[in-house]
Structure 1
Amino acid sequence: ISTLHFIILMVFGNAIGLNFFRLTDKGVMFVFFFVYMNTQIGMAFFLSSVFQNTRTVVAFGFIFVFASSLMSSFLVGPLVDQDSKAVIWLELVPPFALFRGLYEISNYSFKGAYQKTEGLTWSKFSDDGNGMTEVFIILLVEFPLFMALGWYLEQVLGQVGTRRHWLFCLGGRPRQDNTKVDETEHTSLNMEQEDVREEYERVQNMGNSDSHSIVLHGLKKVYPPQGGQPAKVACRSLTLAIEKGECFGLLGPNGAGKSTSINMMVGFMTPTSGHAIIEGHNILTEMNRIYPMMGVCPQHDLLWELMTGREHLLFYGRLKNLKGQELQCAADDALKSVNLYRNKVGDKKVKTYSGGMKRRLSVAISFIGSPRVVYLDEPSTGMDPASRRNLWNVIKQGKEGRAIILTTHSMEEAEVLCDRLGIFVDGGLQCVGDPKGLTSRYGGYLVFTITTGPDHSQAAHDAVMRLCPEAKKTYSLSGTQKYEMPTSSISVADVFSGMQSLRSQIQVQDWGVANASLEEVFIKIAKKKTAAEYM
């Protein structure tokens, strides 16, 4: 775009007869501005790696260019007239080099107009006092230099992704956390539930295992103090192993640390301590090898509004080394799998998609290129029931031969898709196991509901307490009462027998008994953890 603007400027300058454009060799003019614009692009990359905030970069860039351009008129001209060598040092700053070039072009244009000759040409670069050669050399060297410096600083100081050692070009590696779990964390770990401790011991004794795609060793993330607030532990020493062909679900309330854990695994964040092994590669030192073998559906859609769904898939497919017919077929299959193929929906711009359609496209992107590991962060958000069911089928079919980590707020989705679950509360794993095992282990009670007329509520309550003295009332409203009955004290048969007797005594409008659901187990564990923190 900048080149196009300059060409238009050259054409306009020649059209109105400005000597600056008319007398100067068009090749000299074009190459000079083209090289300078590329140097400015390189400098922009360099500045963006130094500053964290985009607005700060833009503001600093404008102020720097404006101030240096203003100073150039006071410094460069007098130094050139004095034939001072100090001008070369000034030209190392791109705006000063630009001014020197404009100074030379203007002088030759002025002389050309006065002497009725041409202005600056390539042959005049060798004239005494002509500084265009040194300006060209400086700008040509600075462009790749700025680009290289920007790339290097982004690798070692970047705010997004895993930072590399400052000598990574020479094989330097960041210091790793040799202690898998520190003393305080180990002490608290021993107080956790048995299944969490067993998972920890399994990972510690695992060694190198080809059957596990994801192995997390004490993964921890602490956000530093900010705005007067203390440091926040977002992930507390997560230790976990996930096999090929397994879908592992991370459940937890908002702010529990689920997305933070995934962001560390995919390289968006650097762990404070601990590490993860993904398909045999360490996230601290080998993320470049991990990227091609993973697929990610982030919590919030990262899509380009002006691109079509198919263009997104083709773009990400190329990143996974798909080419030609294989790439086209992969894009078609991905669109078909998420119901975006019919009526050429996949060929429409993303800005026309609904929230659910964008979510389906994000899931399709995560599976293209046959990744070995897939991270799905709340993939069904915003979908209608039919689309959600179809998405579940896609995930079930895609599970074969790869490991999947799924975060969700839907207990039904977790039970349908996940082979194992982990409940995350306040950055820590509170329990881990298969859905049925967790329900039976952490439920341990029957959920009994009875509805009577308001006049019989007390009688119904008394009857329930006689039937199961350990019963705990959890809900009561307008004659409907709900109880938790420990399975160690009563069986389903006992409940049926007791209800037959009770129905002959009072008017029972409705009643029911069921095992504890996964949702109830989740709420119970979350409340228990929260209550323990305030004790």
Structure 2
Amino acid sequence: AVDGMNITFYEGQITAFLGHNGAGKTTTMSILTGLFPPTSGTVLVGGLDIQTHMDSIRHRLGMCPQHNILFNHLTVAEHILFYSQLKGRSRDEAEQELETMLEDTGLTYKRNEEAQNLSGGMQRKLSVAIAFVGQAKVVVLDEPTSGVDPYSRRSIWDLLLKYRPGRTIILSTHHMDEADILGDRVAIISQGKLFCSGSPVFLKNSFGSGFYLTLVRKVRTTKMGRATVKVIHHHIPEAKLIESIGQELIYLLP
């Protein structure tokens, strides 16, 4: 649930919603995109109220849900063409947008591949690309890098930074490094409430600072994990392991 949240998002900026699972990030985004009606209050997108002008808002809105919603037997190119024309683009405009999007996402060599045959990282890239088609000016991304490998994660970061100018981008994440790198503003949410919001520098100066050490292992073994911890703690005894996802380890350094 969302409890009395009041926040402003700005054009040309990425706002990162940071919070643990169940904090209310997805619910907030569902209200922003019109999936759930608010029980009280409202949302204005470009000055238009979601409760009275949702049809007009959808033409300028892009959404990447937390879980991929793709058509198994449509190719990468067919997905982008379909959603581009669904947003009102002509066939020629959609074709032009397709070529640009394939190049920017690195999916050119997968253009004729069915979605069901793509890797998890490729499927996530396609879902993010779909959110930007049709000249979307407000783009909402619910954990866009969830479940992807470190390389795909960083390529999605590059895409978001490239597409930031002229757009209002809102993304949710529970990765602190992701919020720090991408967010012009970071909004910390817990139990449906907005606890604080500001630039990463402001939040660090106000609530403490530190550094993140990210390691990517070639092979995941318990022995290697222990050796890594031993080396890090030998040099920095106060280092804390805060995330271990797949091959990636993230330590918080004082």
TM-score by length of 2: 0.82
**Any conservation in 1 of the 2:115–2:123 contact (CA below 8 Å)?**
yes
Q: Give the Cα–Cα distance (whole angstroms) in 1 for the partners of residues 200 and 142 of structure 2.
A: 19
Select the structure with the greater relative contact order (CA < 8 A; seq sep ≥ 6).
Answer: 2
Cα RMSD after superposing both structures: 2.4
Q: Which residue of 1 aligns with 2:188?
A: 423
Paired residue type of 2:9: I
* Corresponding residue for residue 246 of structure 1: 13
* Alpha carbons 1:295, 1:367 under 8 Å: kept: yes
Given the alignment of the two structures, is residue 372 of structure 1 paired with residue 146 of structure 2, yes or no?
no
Matching residue within 328, 332, 339 for 2:99: 332
Contact 2:76–2:112, Cα closer than 8 Å, also in 1 = yes
Deviation at residue 511 of structure 1 after TM alignment? 4.2
Q: For 1:263-412, what aligned pairs fall within 5 Å after superposition?
A: 263-342=30-109, 345-412=110-177
Partner Cα distance (2:236, 2:180) in 1: 26
Query: Secondary structure at 1:238's aligned position in 2?
Result: coil
Any conservation in 1 of the 2:60–2:136 contact (CA below 8 Å)? yes
Q: Which amino acid is the alignment partner of residue 235 of structure 2?
A: D
Q: How many residue pairs end up in the alignment?
A: 224
Q: 1:285 to 1:384 in 2, by over 3 A?
A: same
Q: Compute the displacement of 1:382 (Å).
A: 2.2
Of the candidates 250, 255, 260, which is equivalent to residue 27 of structure 2?
260
CA deviations 1:221-261 (Å, max 9, x no partner) are: xxxxxxxxxxxxx1011101111101100011111110000
Moved over 4 A (4+): 511-514
SS of the residue 2:30 aligns to = helix
Q: Distance in 2 between matches of 1:324 and 1:406?
A: 30
Q: In 2, Cα distance between the equivalents of 1:399 and 1:373? A: 10
- Structure 2 counterpart of 1:510: 235
Aligned 8 A contact 1:250 1:405 in 2: yes
1:324-378 deviations in Å (ceiling 9; x for gaps): 3221110121122111112xx1211111111111110000000111111000111
Counterpart code for 1:237: G
* 8 Å CA contact 2:74, 2:114 repeated in 1: yes
Q: Decide whether the 8 Å contact of 1:258 with 1:407 is kept in 2.
A: yes
CA distance in 1 between counterparts of 2:18 and 2:143 reads 10
Letter in 2 for 1:384: D
Gaps of 5+ in 2: 212-228, 244-254
Cα displacement (A) at 1:510:
3.5
Do 2:85 and 2:91's aligned partners in 1 also have CA atoms closer than 8 Å? no
Deviation per CA, 1:408-434: give whole Å up to 9, x if none: 121111111110001111000111111
Identity among equivalent positions (%) equals: 38
In structure 2, give the amino acid aligned to 1:407: S
SS in 2 for 1:243: coil
Q: Distance in 1 between matches of 2:79 and 2:175?
A: 28
Shift of 1:389: 1.5
- Return the alpha-carbon distance in structure 1 between the equivalents of residues 235 and 79 of structure 2: 53
Instruction: Give 1:400 shift.
Output: 0.4
Q: Is the 8 A contact 1:356 1:381 kept in 2?
A: no
Give the aligned partner of residue 220 of structure 1.
none
Judging by fraction of residues, say which structure has more helix: 1
SS at match of 1:299: coil
State the alpha-carbon separation in 1 of the partners of residues 39 and 18 from structure 2.
22
Quick one: distance in 2 between partners of 1:510 and 1:276?
A: 49
Larger Rg: 1
Structure 2 match to 1:413: 178
Q: Give the superposition deviation at 1:390.
A: 1.5
Can you give the 5+ residue segments of structure 1 that lack an aligned partner in the other structure?
1-233, 448-477, 483-508, 520-535
Provide TM-score, normalisation by structure 1. 0.40
Alignment of 1:6-45 (within 5 A): none
* CA spacing shift, 1:510–1:304, aligned 2, 3 Å: closer
